[in-house]
């Protein structure tokens, strides 16, 4: 089975995007191996930190290199993508070997896709991912699932996806599987 790496773009305990990722995991059950990227210790990017490669950076590169596809579940921050996710993608966009003139990075040629849980700004954030992910030389599957946060989730912490969202998530999962199989 192929390996799909989930990146939950919110580091918050109880994240609604993490809960959407769990729905996607169900949609992929028996069809792909799913793992979650541990990325919270990746430092703020600085070219001064690139060599020698930090263990926190090596570990995200290794996880990405081992994956056939990367699925990002992202909040919308100020009608944009979270700076923390952009920082992670900046790291992943960098050449594994800085002396290599072709500049091959761990994420190059990977299939990528994105889903978004937020209340507003989905389109603006989606457009940023749509431009950014191909720019860093990934094969972007543009079947973006967007979801609002259900009203009760703010009180009880439980994100509930609508039938429509679950259907789109299944469609997105199928598109990712088709791109890697």
Ligand X SMILES: Cc1cc2nc3c(=O)[nH]c(=O)nc-3n(C[C@H](O)[C@H](O)[C@H](O)COP(=O)(O)O)c2cc1C
12 lies in the binding site for ligand X (CB under 6 A): yes
Shortest Å distance, C-beta 15 to ligand X? 3
Q: Which is nearer to ligand X, 42 or 177 (CB)?
A: 42
Spatial distance between the Cα atoms of 150 and 24, rounded to a whole number of angstroms: 17
- Residues of this chain, 60-79, that bind ligand X according to CB under 6 A: 75-79
140 lies in the binding site for ligand X (CB under 6 A): no
Shortest Å distance, C-beta 91 to ligand X? 21
Q: Which range in 13-21, 24-32, 54-62, 168-176 contacts ligand X by CB under 6 A?
A: 13-21
147 lies in the binding site for ligand X (CB under 6 A): no
Shortest Å distance, C-beta 62 to ligand X? 25
Angle formed by the axes of helices 122-135 and 83-93, nearest 10°: 10
Contact 79, 121 (CB under 8 A): yes
Spatial distance between the Cα atoms of 87 and 48, rounded to a whole number of angstroms: 15
Q: Which is nearer to ligand X, 39 or 61 (CB)?
A: 39
Q: Which helix (H) or strand (E) holds 180?
A: helix 163-180
* Cα 112 → chain centroid: 7
146 lies in the binding site for ligand X (CB under 6 A): no
CA nearest neighbour of 1 among 27, 33, 46:
33
Q: Choose which of 6, 16, 39, 71 interacts with ligand X (CB under 6 A).
A: 16
Q: Which is nearer to ligand X, 3 or 124 (CB)?
A: 124
Q: Which residues contact 37 (CB under 8 A, 6 or more apart)?
A: 5, 6, 7, 8, 60, 63, 64
Q: Choose which of 58, 97, 100, 120 interacts with ligand X (CB under 6 A).
A: 120
Spatial distance between the Cα atoms of 5 and 35, rounded to a whole number of angstroms: 5
* 3-class secondary structure, 15: coil
171 lies in the binding site for ligand X (CB under 6 A): no
> Which residues of the chain form contacts with ligand X (CB under 6 A)?
10, 12, 15-17, 75-79, 117-121
């Amino acid at each position: 089975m192929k390996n799909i790496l989930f990146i939950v773009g919110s580091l918050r305990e109880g994240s609604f995007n993490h809960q959407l990722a769990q729905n996607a995991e169900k949609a992929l059950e028996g069809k792909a191996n799913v793992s979650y990227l541990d990325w919270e210790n990746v430092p703020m990017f600085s070219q001064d930190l690139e060599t020698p490669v930090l263990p926190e950076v090596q570990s995200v590169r290794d996880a990405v290199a081992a994956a056939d596809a990367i699925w990002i579940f992202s909040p919308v921050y100020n009608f944009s993508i979270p700076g923390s996710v952009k920082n992670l993608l900046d790291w992943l966009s960098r050449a594994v070997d800085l002396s290599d003139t072709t500049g091959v990075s761990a994420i190059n040629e990977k299939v990528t896709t994105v889903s978004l849980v937020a209340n507003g700004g989905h389109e603006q954030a989606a457009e940023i991912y749509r431009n950014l992910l191909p720019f860093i030389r990934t094969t972007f599957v543009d079947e973006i699932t967007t979801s609002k946060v259900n009203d009760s989730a703010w009180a009880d912490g439980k994100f509930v996806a609508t039938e429509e969202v679950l259907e789109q998530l299944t469609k997105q999962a199928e598109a990712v599987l088709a791109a890697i199989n």
